[in-house]
Amino acid sequence: MLDLKFVRENPEVVKENIKKKFQDKKLPLVDEVIELDKDARATQQEMDSLRESRKKVSSEIGKLYANGKKEEAEMLKEEVTKNADKLEEFEKKHSELTGKIRQIMLSIPNIIDESVPIGKDDSENVEREKFGENIVPDFEIPYHTEIMESFNGIDLDAAGRVAGNGFYYLIGDIARLHSAVISYARDFMIDRGFTYCVPPFMIRSSVVDGVMSFEEMDAMMYKIEGEDLYLIGTSEHSMIGKFIDTIINEDELPKTLTSYSPCFRKEKGAHGIEERGVYRIHQFEKQEMIVVCKPEESMMWFDKLWQNTVDLFRSLDIPVRTLECCSGDLADLKVKSVDVEAWSPRQKKYFEVGSCSNLTDAQARRLKIRVKSKDGKYFAHTLNNTVAAPPRMLIAFLENNLQADGSVRIPEVLRPYMGGKEKLEKCKKV
């Protein structure tokens, strides 16, 4: 959420930013919120004037009673009552105005960084850099669920009967591999100085409003009926929410946390054949990283965060690339975002396995996450990034480590988490 004062003083900058995000339907909101703000400030002045008048008259009433001038005091009390009625009307009006202002401000997108490429949607995202050689082996690579089935490692049919489409059972070595990747990702981030955390897996609506737009919430989150609780779509939500309505001493920054959680998503809409299996699902697990920092350090942390993901995937012998998200592909709270994509030798292309975002003070302003310095208070900057999110990242792992005989090589760094195994052997058909 932008600073209302900034919108008031820079309406053309805000409108130009809306145009860059191809959200022209939101352009009238800028003038509307400025007018509402003008009315709200005028109403506030009326309220302040009435309160000051009440204070003075109340003091005068006390003096009149003390001097035995009861009749004059009673007349002034009538004036106080009338002013109280007026004040109540103004307070109601002000509350309505501020409510409308907040709703509009929640809809106006954050100012994107000047380095963000301009484009309408994800088809216009820009490749930044490749890491590792994207090899295509000289043997056929099966679809990822077929690879898992060769190890008796997945049961989608049973999951469908139990929970419906978009769910899965992982079994045996594949389930162990899934857990091994999560544990490795956890320790990888701890070794990089991040503090490990397991957060709540449900959050209140006040936190939801603080971390994302209504459109994102509606498309992603499951609500618990009869409760003011939502299942998290990513642990970033509850991790940033951890700091709601707090004041952090500046010398405590940065806060660098890595968190584990299950994630729950609606995943609305139909998807292509390559997004079946365990690619796009309603339930998965993820290791996340978040940073709360000073404004002048947020871009430095942004580059550190996506590099962490690149380094983790490369340590597992998975080629990756970074993709700069264009203006039209940025969620409204984000000022800059980079996707990390893994190489799929089966598809001969890259696919998304993580996303790194800098939201500057947008979330902090919504959640009232403030920093106390020697010069006063200011809003913190918040960032988030995926470390690893199996089972999707298992697709990249299995495809890139699959051998010609159908076995899967276990990279050296992962072997301690797999009981020392150097490879997974195909199961014999019974």
- Phi and psi angles of residue 349, each rounded to the nearest 5 degrees, phi first: -160, 170
Q: Please give the pLDDT value at position 86.
A: 84
Both tokens of 85, joined, read 């009625």
Do residues 416 and 389 make contact, with C-beta atoms less than 8 angstroms apart? no
- Spatial separation of the C-alpha atoms in residues 97 and 103, rounded to whole Å: 10
- Phi and psi angles of residue 15, each rounded to the nearest 5 degrees, phi first: -65, -40
pTM over 0.85: yes
Q: Please give the pLDDT value at position 74.
A: 66
pLDDT digits (tens, 9 = 90+) for 83-98: 788 888 889 999 999 9
Q: Please give the pLDDT value at position 65.
A: 66
Q: Please give the pLDDT value at position 66.
A: 67
Do residues 151 and 173 make contact, with C-beta atoms less than 8 angstroms apart? yes
Q: Please give the pLDDT value at position 391.
A: 84
Q: Please give the pLDDT value at position 247.
A: 98
Q: Please give the pLDDT value at position 369.
A: 98
pLDDT digits (tens, 9 = 90+) for 127-166: 999 999 999 999 999 999 999 999 999 999 999 999 998 8
Annotated domain spans of the chain? 4-107, 122-424
Consecutive 10-residue runs of the chain (430 residues): their mean pLDDT? 94 98 97 97 90 74 68 69 82 94 94 97 96 94 94 94 92 96 98 97 93 81 94 94 97 98 78 64 94 98 98 97 97 96 96 96 96 96 96 94 96 97 80
The topology (CATH level 3) of 4-107 is Helix Hairpins (1.10.287)
The burial class, CB within 10 Å (0-12 / 13-18 / 19+), for 392 is buried
Do residues 91 and 47 make contact, with C-beta atoms less than 8 angstroms apart? yes
Q: What is the CATH number of domain 122-424?
A: 3.30.930.10
